[in-house]
Amino acid sequence: MVEAAEEGVKVRAVARYVRVSPFKARQVADQIRGKDLEEARYITRFSPKGAARLVGKVLESAAANAENNNGLSAEDLVVVDCHVDEGPTLKRWRPRALGRATRIRKRTSHITVILGEREKEVPEKRRRGKRARSGSRGKG
């Protein structure tokens, strides 16, 4: 899905109802937020966390959306935002001692990755400082 913004085109990909805890997925999402695409790919590929593989899939999907649907170059892409929302929780029961039962919560996540173009570095014009005028400088 494409979102129009002031600074350029932003492309996003969403994976919903992913069977991973939002807490675990947010740890990976926090690591790639703000990084350029190649560095984010590196982080998700070599991270020891299990959620990194799932976040990496969404990252690759967003990159494919940017290249194929919007004609953007992969070298210019940056992870503008990456967030993980909580999905519905599957509730299961596990038998325990003395006829009791405890609830097991199988959590799900909605993973969203938003990519945008890297801002072009524009050199600022150098301004000359004001020259000291001859005469009094405020000291009396």
Reference 95, options 108, 86, 104; nearest CA is: 104
Residues in the chain: 140
Q: E strand or H helix at 61, and its extent? A: helix 51-70
Taking only the tens place, the pLDDT of each residue in 6-37 is 458 899 999 999 999 999 999 999 999 999 99
Topology of domain 2-117, per CATH?
Answer: Ribosomal Protein L22; Chain A (3.90.470)
Choose among 101, 106, 79: nearest CA to 90.
Answer: 106
Asked if pLDDT for residue 3 goes beyond 90, the answer is no
Higher pLDDT, 131 or 121: 121
Amino acid code (one letter) for 59: L
Each domain of the chain, given as residue ranges in start order, spans: 2-117
More confident residue, 33 or 3: 33
Give residue-wise pLDDT tens across range 93-129: 999 999 999 999 999 999 999 999 988 776 677 666 6
Residue type at position 99: G
What are the tens digits of pLDDT across the range 23-72? 999 999 999 999 999 999 999 999 999 999 999 999 999 999 999 999 99
Whether 138 has a pLDDT exceeding 80, the answer reads: no
Beta carbons of 18 and 111 less than 8 angstroms apart: yes
pLDDT reported for residue 129? 62
Cα(32)–Cα(122) distance, integer angstroms: 25
Q: pTM (2 decimals)?
A: 0.78
The rounded percent of the chain whose pLDDT value lies above 70 is 82
pLDDT for 120 equals 74
Residue 122, pLDDT score: 67
